[in-house]
A and B are shown apart, each in its own frame.
Chain A
């Protein structure tokens, strides 16, 4: 059977010469399939949003309804979780959401899923937590550390609680990264495993048993593909929700908690 992990292999499409950057050393600039998948997702999103907004009408057409729906979904999210200040952070959340959604969906249609690379999802995780830290320190200065001291905790428990809060804060980028990566990778591995069963049945590798196995497996692939479309949307949505929650922690630090 074909290796279900082969699809995650990075391959160079156009090899460009290496450059040496100060502080980073040798950097490989080759255009890889991961690079292409991200660029296609980016171009698709820009084209989609341009098409949506180019002929905007008061009574929206079909395409405009979809665009406004995505826009409204995230606007509603930032508004309900972060509150009044959420409008300022809307562009960041919307960018992250649409880019992840685009890469997830294109991964189901093209050969390569950029979000199944831990380097890509880790960049999103670090970006989010970086913004949380920047806003926290810019807005509250050293008062940012109040984030780790919940109010109303008995002083006996305080050292333990602070430690736990601090550890859970450090784990946030890790779980953000691994949730997206694991969901996309796990889904695609499962798809490829069942597709491998179909292929093995078709080439007659398992004899007459191939008839029931092939039929069951191709039904499973169809159902899993539908499920993967749901997961692709859900993971992008969950990433956006968690980004909002983490940003809310520092934007509204000290009140409402």
Chain B
């Protein structure tokens, strides 16, 4: 295979790690909604935790994205 083509495929494969981040962030917001609809009075106090959790889960997907960009532009 051509090296340039292999590089592009590799960059694409590297960004697949964002699937995990998508599942994680969706899970966090879904769980938050489930809990918030059961007890709406407690929901407001957990907004901070919600965003921190989403940010932490998202960071790992961003790592994969950055890796993809690095391979693409290397």
* Interface residue ranges, A against B (CB under 8 Å): 5, 77, 80-81, 175, 178-179, 181-183, 185-186, 234, 237-238, 241-242, 245
Asked whether A186 lies within 8 Å of B65 as measured between CB atoms, the reply is: yes
Asked whether A242 lies within 8 Å of B62 as measured between CB atoms, the reply is: no
Asked whether A182 lies within 8 Å of B62 as measured between CB atoms, the reply is: yes
Given contacts A5-B73, A178-B62, 6 further A-B contacts (CB under 8 A): A175-B63, A178-B66, A182-B66, A241-B48, A241-B51, A242-B52
Q: Sort A-B residue pairs by CB-CB distance and give the 6 closest, nearest first.
A: A182-B62, A238-B55, A175-B59, A179-B59, A182-B65, A182-B66
Known: A5-B73, A185-B69, A186-B65. A178 touches B48 (CB 8 A): no
| Alpha-carbon distance between A5 and B69 when the two chains are bound, in angstroms | 10
Asked whether A241 lies within 8 Å of B52 as measured between CB atoms, the reply is: yes
In the complex, how many residue pairs between chain A and chain B have their CB atoms under 8 Å apart? Answer: 38
Separation in Å of the B65 CB from the closest CB of chain A? 5
Known: A5-B73, A186-B65. A237 touches B51 (CB 8 A): yes
- The chain A residue with its CB closest to the CB of B69 is A185
Interface centre among A80, A81, A182, A234 (most CB of B within 10 A): A182
CB-CB under 8 A from A182, the residues of chain B are 62-63, 65-66
Give 28 A-B contacts (CB < 8 Å), ordered by A residue. Answer: A5-B73, A77-B48, A80-B48, A175-B56, A175-B59, A175-B63, A178-B59, A178-B62, A178-B63, A178-B66, A179-B59, A179-B62, A181-B62, A181-B66, A182-B62, A182-B63, A182-B66, A183-B62, A186-B62, A186-B65, A234-B51, A237-B51, A238-B52, A238-B55, A241-B48, A241-B52, A241-B55, A245-B52
CB-CB under 8 A from A242, the residues of chain B are 52, 55
- The chain B residue with its CB closest to the CB of A77 is B48
Separation in Å of the A33 CB from the closest CB of chain B? 19
- The chain A residue with its CB closest to the CB of B62 is A182
Separation in Å of the A78 CB from the closest CB of chain B? 12
Separation in Å of the A77 CB from the closest CB of chain B? 8
Separation in Å of the A185 CB from the closest CB of chain B? 7
- The chain B residue with its CB closest to the CB of A186 is B65
Separation in Å of the B25 CB from the closest CB of chain A? 12
CB-CB under 8 A from B62, the residues of chain A are 178-179, 181-183, 186
| Neighbour of A179 across the interface among B55, B69, B73, CB < 8 A | B55
CB-CB under 8 A from A5, the residues of chain B are 73
- The chain A residue with its CB closest to the CB of B56 is A175
- The chain B residue with its CB closest to the CB of A239 is B55
| Alpha-carbon distance between A238 and B48 when the two chains are bound, in angstroms | 9
CB-CB under 8 A from B58, the residues of chain A are 179, 183
- The chain A residue with its CB closest to the CB of B49 is A241
- The chain B residue with its CB closest to the CB of A118 is B66
- The chain A residue with its CB closest to the CB of B65 is A182
- The chain B residue with its CB closest to the CB of A80 is B48
CB-CB under 8 A from A181, the residues of chain B are 62, 66
